[in-house]
Chains A and B, each alone.
Chain A
């Protein structure tokens, strides 16, 4: 009886098993069923990412090998735009200005932000007031911020020159002389960005376990030593992220140049994005503008990888 039953069971199993073809179809259906919710969640993002990032980026790369392509039809010219880009004196100057600006701005804003964040972290009194006060400039529209600096640095009416004059010092030509103009732009961008970076580093400092600091205090470490040996190494992963973000943002310098100097005096504040803007719209040199855009993207990616390589390895160590 049991033998017969067992055979029956075996026969049933055979009837129930799938052929190879059926199995393949079932597997596809199963996979598809699993994919639908994934695509449901990722779809909207992928759509936006494609429309606003991937397609424009691919389109930019394509246009960098063409002339025209906005108002008129694109015409393929091979590497012509790329070779013109590499030999363009104004672009070389723009790249130099942008590099100087990026280095000075990032070093200044990070030093100030770390110092202020350290002070706020060690002194809780009035912390909220200072956080709001420091963040406020970031809420000011870039054009308005530019106008504020225009009036601050105006030769005749600017507060800075009025103070210099009142204290028997010579007035300064802030926006009409080099390197004053670039330094004025650095000051404006540092003023605008300081609040964000203070909050960013303050959050990092506040996440450091207090027992580490207390232990160091008991061991007799002073505040500078504590910052150097505990705070800074703990903040390093955060610093890596900050450097990468700051590089990406600062290489896009444009607003303050447009409002304050229009790239002058004598190309002293021409940034890469300003160069691209002028080529693209004022001269309709579409191919060169797109080649420079893609070139800028490559520079920023290379610098990001380099920063990751340098700071990332150190934080791992």
Chain B
């Protein structure tokens, strides 16, 4: 009996609550119709956010340990502006190809992803990305497009298709320990290969005379694992050569320019002994050597400028262009792009996101932290830093990697040969003959 009463009370309460809610709802509607201004505001907001409620997936390999935290700060501004939510997945560099393959093979790939020149057409030519050419030639992008240098767009275009909008242009800087140079009587940062060897020898001798026998002259990665090709191909370009013909159809691994440039790298390790043998120090270990004042010169990306300044290195240092050859010094590196998945169900929202990512404002914000050179001319990423401004000016001599579907495999052949030759156990001729064979087979496969 008691429980029957309780049930009736509960039903009565629920019924009354439902009536009250319904009444509130109708009064809400009527109050909205009374205030036309509010309705108008809402309409404007809806118009301004045509993608409201859309969620994009975004895959990117990080350029720094703090990148995820930074995206959490940067992305709300985009969501606020467009109503598009972005879910970031950080793709580790060493698993990048496997994870991207899995993503692009699925029906739900990352709507937007960051792609370097080595992967842009590797995945793009297999149908993973949409061709952005019609989008960049659209009216809504006309004012932006004029800020992208033709050379950068050209290096990122393959067979007339642009699978990603260039975002950053890589450069390489030579970091020099000025205190060591001064002590050894080396007046200026070396600009030629001969000067670099001479300066390294002078510094090592000077340091040895002071009891610092562990000090090394020069370091740059020459192994496959540390992307030796990335730091060495400028030297080939300085000689007017390349590892691939201009039409991209013939391997030129055994050309004179490629082999001469490799011989310089070999001599630094095997003959002049100004650089440590391969495998003793990997790239990160060598950076630590430089920071500890045990290395005079090192080639690395300009992102180290920020970290070296934050670390307040206990000696004077500076950056310079990597050394040239016969009066010619070029910059070689890859380009970073934003690509939209061909299977994306929100391709227009993804393009909206790409436009925001590529804007001069965001480019400057990103690169003031990670110190790459913006792919567009109207973005100043130096943030008043003289070293970074100098780095940005090197784009004028940029002769970077042209994207193609086979470029990863060809660079692997080049890197294996470079590693073999700089091991001091294989001749340059033998190493690069093998690379020529491998690259020719790769190209023949189509």
A contact set with B: CB distance below 8 Å: 68, 70-72, 84, 89-90, 154-156, 173, 175-177, 181, 258, 261-267, 277-278, 280-285
Contact of A265 among B105, B122, B126, B279 (CB under 8 A): B279
Q: Is B69 an interface residue (CB 8 A)?
A: no
Asked whether, in the complex, the Cβ of B281 is within 8 Å of the Cβ of A155, the reply is yes
| Known A266-B419, A281-B98: A176·B123 in contact at CB below 8 Å | no
- CB-CB under 8 A from A278, the residues of chain B are 412
Type the 1/0 row for B257-279, where 1 means its CB is closer than 8 Å to any CB of A: 00000000000000000000111
- Looking at chain B's contact residues, the main secondary structure is helix
Residues of chain B from 391 to 446 with CB closer than 8 A to chain A in the complex: 405, 408-409, 412, 416, 419-420, 423, 425-426, 434, 437-438, 441-442, 445
- Looking at chain A's contact residues, the main secondary structure is loop
- CB-CB under 8 A from B405, the residues of chain A are 284
Type the 1/0 row for B205-248, where 1 means its CB is closer than 8 Å to any CB of A: 00000000000000000011100000000000000000000000
Asked whether, in the complex, the Cβ of A285 is within 8 Å of the Cβ of B279, the reply is no
Asked whether, in the complex, the Cβ of B278 is within 8 Å of the Cβ of A284, the reply is no
- CB-CB under 8 A from A154, the residues of chain B are 285
- CB-CB under 8 A from A264, the residues of chain B are 223-225, 279, 419
| Known A89-B434, A266-B426, A267-B416: A282·B97 in contact at CB below 8 Å | yes
Number of A-B contacts (CB under 8 A): 82
Contact of A266 among B423, B437, B442 (CB under 8 A): B423
Contact of B126 among A156, A261, A284 (CB under 8 A): A284
B contact set with A: CB distance below 8 Å: 94, 97-98, 101, 104-105, 122-123, 126-128, 223-225, 277-281, 285, 405, 408-409, 412, 416, 419-420, 423, 425-426, 434, 437-438, 441-442, 445
Nearest B residue (CB) for A155: B280
- CB-CB under 8 A from B105, the residues of chain A are 70-71
7 closest A-B pairs by beta carbon, nearest first, are: A176-B279, A281-B97, A262-B225, A72-B126, A71-B126, A283-B409, A281-B98
In the complex, how many angstroms separate the beta carbon of A143 from the nearest chain B beta carbon?
10
| Known A70-B101, A176-B278: A265·B409 in contact at CB below 8 Å | no
Nearest A residue (CB) for B409: A283
- CB-CB under 8 A from A261, the residues of chain B are 225
In the complex, how many angstroms separate the beta carbon of B412 from the nearest chain A beta carbon?
7
- CB-CB under 8 A from B279, the residues of chain A are 155, 173, 175-177, 181, 264-265
Nearest B residue (CB) for A87: B441
Can you list 25 contacts pairing A with B, beta carbon distance less than 8 Å? A70-B105, A71-B105, A89-B437, A155-B280, A155-B281, A156-B281, A156-B285, A177-B277, A264-B223, A264-B419, A265-B278, A265-B279, A265-B419, A266-B416, A266-B420, A267-B416, A278-B412, A280-B101, A281-B101, A283-B408, A283-B409, A284-B123, A284-B405, A285-B409, A285-B445
